[in-house]
Structure 1
Amino acid sequence: MRRLAGLLVVPLLLLSTAACGNDEGSQSASTKNGAPAITAGAKFGEKPTLAKGEGKPPKDLKVVVISEGKGPTLKKGDAAEVNYLGQEYDESKPFDNSFDRGEPFKLTLGAGGVIQGWEKGLEGQKVGSRVELVIPPELGYGPQGQGDIKGNATLVFVVDVLKGTTVPVSAKGTEVPQTNADLPKVGTNTDGKEPTVTVPKVDPPKKLVSNYVIEGTGPVVKPTDTVAVHYAGVLWKDGKTFDSSYAQGKTQNFPLEQVTLKGLKDGLIGKKVGSRVLLVIPPDQAFGDKAQTGIPAKSTLVFAMDILAVM
């Protein structure tokens, strides 16, 4: 289920000092491996310029390590921070890059927030590396394209892997007594499996509830943070699950500045990373009078949410 994440967060395009080789060597290696040459800015950290691809593009994913870093190796489930430039294989101008924005792109490998070419190409790369990815359409945006990217386009990306963080499987910390019988009770397991959420048969609170179930020891979440979370969401009315990242088998990233659900954003800000939090969100801070798939109008929402990492 990706429905809830799509409702909560405004999607991004890709949802889109280490050992360095010299410019000449990087360009030569790129050409030999079927990838367009980097014609300027070949060193890690520099904004690159790509040549237009020549001939037919490769049919399979090409991963060319321009320069290998000395940091940890990225694996599935890790949170990564990268800079990138993207260009269609048969074009001479990029369609997007993060270098000009001055803000790296954040993702979690395996979470499904980026195209498959990125998922496959970045897994196994070391932090501090620069890689060039040549991505066939079936691992990119396919026949439908995306924005200015035409259908069935082969994509070329130069990606600098700036950071990599292992995301825990569960909240861990001090259990906080759940003594209020008028609030839902949340399971305290820390094995990475979905916690239980038991809703009492009473009227829901009219104000936002944001309580620790397990209090972690990490930094406090700020309004500008992007958080990696695991969650189960149920309806107060009948306790039925309307969405769960556990059911998807992967965590979700919430850039809080882009979260449109007020109660969710306000409920996470100020809480410690590593915690499990009970959120009870009244309709006026959720979806109000607008029904969503699986969520009736005027619903009070209940979340058990693990704040696993800040990206």
Structure 2
Amino acid sequence: MTGVTAKGKLGEKPTISFKTPFEVVNNSYQIVQKGDGAALKDGQKLCVQQIIFDPKTGKEVQSTWETGPDCTATLSSANMQPNFYKLFKSLKVNSTVVMGITSQSSSSTTSSSSSSKSKVTAYLMALTIASAKTIPSRAEGTKVENIDPSLPKITLAKNGAPSINASDLKNYKSDGQLKAQTLIEGTGATVTEKSTVTAQYTGWVLGGDAKKPFDSSWTRGSSATFNLQQVVKGWTQGLAGQKVGSQVLLIIPPDLGYGSTAQKNIPANSTLVFVVDILDAQ
């Protein structure tokens, strides 16, 4: 991408200029401000300020500068397109990049016809790296003693990835109540029900195969970031009050999980078992 300029003090909301209408090429980009902060490193959690522009008019459509940056991105090849991963690895804090994004949706011209009209939506997004934070790859704290012996036993690999005792997963009898057992107690900030949490986790279906978790960030090779208002209630209630650095065993009854709605690899009315490492919270 060429033809976009930025003015303003590094680290503050930039003034972005371009001739209109601007032709957007999907996934194109231009570095318009080279930052003066620390170089970004693999695995860091990024806080990013965004401004979205209409390329036809040049008008600002949306901005996070007035409300606060988005801190859900992790610099990782596991969750970034290769070209963007390479781009961000080359940047420093306070850099601004303008990206071109297009999306296409189709709508049928008649209810019985297979022909369709495609509508292309295009916009420019100016991203400023507000901060970058190195977070641990696993829970760091004090191992909790005197854990209820009836709970499923958890063991950890050298890298911290959890596994669950196969017999315990098959035979544990849930009482239908949420269980939130701290396995490792951290010393960081206290998580609230409105926190955005970065975590490593593995999830199993109670009664299922211990070797076949339905989801695991460890398998994907990158931690995940969630707002606790946008996950199942068992996560929200079970992680609130925990501290950053902790590892928590959650046993979530169906009414605080997915209930009667089946998910991929999760039958309806399943009790869920998670081991969650809380790496960061905002």
TM-score tier by shorter-chain length is 0.7 to 0.9
Partner of 2:140: 172
Match of 1:272 in 2: 243
8 Å contact kept, 2:3–2:19: no
Question: How far, CA to CA, are the matches of 2:151 and 2:158 in structure 1?
Answer: 21
> Partner amino acid for 1:84?
Q
- Per mean C-alpha deviation after superposition, the further-off stretch among 81-90 and 112-121 is 112-121
Aligned residues with identical type, % of pairs: 30
**Structure with a larger share of its residues in helix:** 1
Tell me if structure 2 keeps the 8 A contact 1:87–1:94.
yes
Supply the distance in 1 between the matched residues of 2:258 and 2:3 (Cα, whole angstroms). Answer: 47
The corresponding residue for 1:163 is: 131
Deviation at 1:47, TM superposition (A): 5.2
Partner of residue 294, structure 1: 265
Report the equivalent of 1:234: 204
Pair 1:207-2:172 in alignment: no
Describe how 1:58-69 pairs up with structure 2 within 5 A: 61-69=28-36
TM-score after normalising by structure 1: 0.73
Does structure 1 residue 108 correspond to structure 2 residue 74? yes
Matched, 1:74 2:46: no
Q: Where does the alignment leave 5 or more consecutive residues of structure 2 unmatched?
A: 107-118
* 2:194 is aligned with 1:224: yes
Q: Deviations over 1:50-72 (max 9, x none)?
A: 323677667984442524223x2
Indicate the SS of the match to 2:218. Answer: helix
Aligned amino acid, residue 262 of structure 1: K
Are residue 122 (structure 1) and residue 88 (structure 2) matched? Answer: yes
Q: What's the counterpart of residue 65 of structure 2?
A: 99
> Within 2, Cα distance between the matches of 1:308 and 1:46?
29
Partner Cα separation in structure 2 for residue 35 and residue 178 of structure 1: 64
For this pair of structures, how many residues does the alignment match? 264
Q: 8 Å contact 1:213–1:277 — kept in the other structure?
A: yes
- Report what 2:215 is aligned to: 243
Cα distance change on mapping 1:289 and 1:152 into 2, 3 Å: closer
Segments of structure 1 that go 5 or more residues without pairing to the other structure are: 1-32
Normalization by structure 2: what TM-score? 0.80
1:44 equivalenced with 2:11 (yes/no):
yes
1:306 aligns to 2:277 (yes or no)? yes
Q: Name the structure where strand makes up a greater proportion of residues.
A: 2
Deviation, 1:113, is 6.3
